[in-house]
Amino acid sequence: MSRLLTRRQLLAGAGAMLVTGCDRLQPMSAPVRASERFNRAVQQALFRRGAELHAGGALTSVEEFPTGEYMISMDASGRLVVPTVPAGWRLKVGGRVKRPLLLALEDLMAMPRNDQRIEHHCVEGWSAIASWQGVRISDIAERAGADDCAYVEFRSFDRGPDQVTGALTDYWSSWDRDSAMHPQSMLAYGMNDQPLSPAHGAPVRLYGAVKLGYKNVKWLTEVNFLDEQTGGYWEHAGYEWFAGT
């Protein structure tokens, strides 16, 4: 579960891949990519704009909600560690917006509060339920004046080696506008009515009901409203981009 077998396999495969030059991550690449396009169309067709789904059942505690090795930052010995919040942290809201913003945690907390009970779906197969408190991305878009961008990119101060090239990179992901504007999609600063813990992405993380776990970027630094799709960290390693739930 939290061992992230995939990461180990990917790291092990990365070296061999650089040597052979073949894409070991995607056998049957062309048909699999074609099916990803088909699957994206299916997922977009299934997507219901305003439909909120509030998870029933007991909340998973902050401690039991897996955090494991779901980060890319490493210490000197190469062990994965929770990234440290940069001094003077502010959330930068940019891209093609009328009013670029630089928001402190207090600024976000002063905005209308969104509270959602959501079942989490990790690409690995596990689930957990938590309540999340934060600011709707649609409210951020309105405040920044992001009117018609098709994509929203989320960048993190979690920083580590790219799964394919090994080059140092931020963790990031990008969403289609409809998913980002979904009423349950938010920049979360609270979990189970407690301040967000460092392991879960403090000070602020992306959270929503409509995407798999790896799309919900932790430890946010930037939100960019863009006209083009900019992929993501795991997406670059062969994981599906749309990854809706």
Partner 1 sequence: MRTPQPWPVRITHWINVPALVLMAMSGLQIFIAYPHFGPAANHWNLPFDGWIPPESVRSGHGLAAGRGIHFLIGWLLVGNAVVYLVYVIASGEYRRRFFWPPRDTRSLYQTALHYLRIRRQPPTPSFYNGLQRAAYTSAMLLGILEVWSGLVVYKPVQLHALGIPLGGYDGARTVHFFGLIALVFFVIGHIVMVLLHPRSLGEMVTGGKPRE
Q: How far is CA 233 from CA 183, 189, 208, in A?
A: 25, 22, 18
> Is there binding between residue 165 and partner 1 (CB under 8 A)?
no
40: Cβ–Cβ under 8 A, 6 or more apart, which residues? 240, 241, 242
Decide: 103 and 89 in contact? Cβ < 8 Å. Answer: no
Cα torsion 49, 51, 52, 54 to 10°: value is -140
Name the helix (H) or strand (E) containing 156: strand 151-161
Q: Is 245 helix (H, G, I), strand (E, B) or coil?
A: coil
Q: Which is nearer to partner 1, 121 or 144 (CB)?
A: 121
- The answer to whether residue 164 forms part of the interface with partner 1 (CB under 8 A) is no
For position 64 contacting partner 1 by CB under 8 A, the verdict is yes
Stretch that binds partner 1, among 6-14, 104-112, 147-155, 168-176 (CB under 8 A): 6-14
Q: How far is the CB of 65 from partner 1 (least distance, A)?
A: 7
Out of 209, 217, 220, 226, the only residue in the binding site for partner 1 (CB under 8 A) is 209
d(CA 98, CA 83): 31
- Of 89-97, 120-128, 133-141, 149-157, the segment contacting partner 1 by CB under 8 A is 120-128
Q: Which is nearer to partner 1, 153 or 240 (CB)?
A: 240
Tell me which residues touch partner 1 (CB under 8 A): 1-2, 5-6, 9-10, 13, 24-28, 31-36, 38-39, 43, 46-48, 51, 53, 60-61, 64-66, 119, 121-129, 209-210, 234, 237-240, 244-245
